[in-house]
Amino acid sequence: FAGRGGVVMLVGEPGIGKSRLVEELLASAALPAYVAGCDQYEMETAYWPMRALLRSVLGVAADAPGSDVLDALTERVAELDPGLLPWVPLIATVLDVECFPTPEVAALAEEFRKARLEDTVVRFLTSALREPSVIVIDDVHLMDDASADLLTSICRRVPRRPWLVLLMRREAEQGFHPGDDAH
C-alpha cells in the first residue's frame, strides 16, 4: 500500500465467484480485514452495513448490548483521537446505540448534521485503521442511501489511507455506485 489505498468493485451475478475471490485474497494478504454486508431486508434501515463495519473495527459482537458498544466506542475514541469525544453521539447514530447528545452535537444545525457525521466517522476510521487494512462490503447493490453516502465519503479519502476497500455487487441500478472521483 505504501500509505495509498484503493477501491475495487467486483461486479457479477450470484455464484460467479466474487466471495471466493475475496476469501482467497484475505487469506493470502495477512492484513486485518473488516467485513460487512448488505441485506435485502434491511435496505430501508439507515447505516445497516456501516453499523456492522464499525462494530467490526471496534471488535464488538454484532449482538453486543448497546451500552457495551457505546463503552467500547468512547474508550477507543478517547485512546485514539480525544478531539472526537464531543462527536461520539454522531458515530453512535451509525452504530444504532443510544447516546445522550453532547453540547456540540446539540448545537449542530440539522443541515450540517449529515456532513459532520460522515466526516466524524471517516476521522474515527482514520484513527482506528492506521496500518494497511482491508474493508470488505458485500452486496452493495442492496445498500441504503445513508450508507451509500457514507461509503462515498470513505472512498473519496481512500487514496490518502492505507486501505483496500473491496466492494461486491450485482449489476443493478440501486444501491451504492462509486462516483467518478473514486480511486
Summarize the confidence of residues 44-50 as an average pLDDT: 94
* Separation CA 149–CA 25 (nearest Å): 27
- Please give the angle made by the CA atoms of 162, 167 and 172, to the nearest 5 degrees: 150
Which pLDDT band, with edges at 50, 70 and 90, does 181 fall under? low
Q: Output the pLDDT for position 30.
A: 86
Q: Output the pLDDT for position 183.
A: 53
pLDDT tops 90 at residue 174: no
Q: What does pLDDT average to over the chain?
A: 92
pLDDT tops 90 at residue 179: no
- In order of 53, 55, 71, 72, the CA distances from 97 in angstroms are 14, 11, 10, 12
Which pLDDT band, with edges at 50, 70 and 90, does 182 fall under? low
Q: Output the pLDDT for position 171.
A: 84
pLDDT tops 80 at residue 61: yes
Q: Output the pLDDT for position 34.
A: 95
Whole-model pTM: value is 0.92
Q: Output the pLDDT for position 164.
A: 93
Summarize the confidence of residues 105-134 as an average pLDDT: 96
Q: What percent of the chain stands above pLDDT 70?
A: 96
Cα-trace Rg, the chain: 16
pLDDT tops 90 at residue 114: yes
Which pLDDT band, with edges at 50, 70 and 90, does 29 fall under? confident
pLDDT tops 60 at residue 77: yes
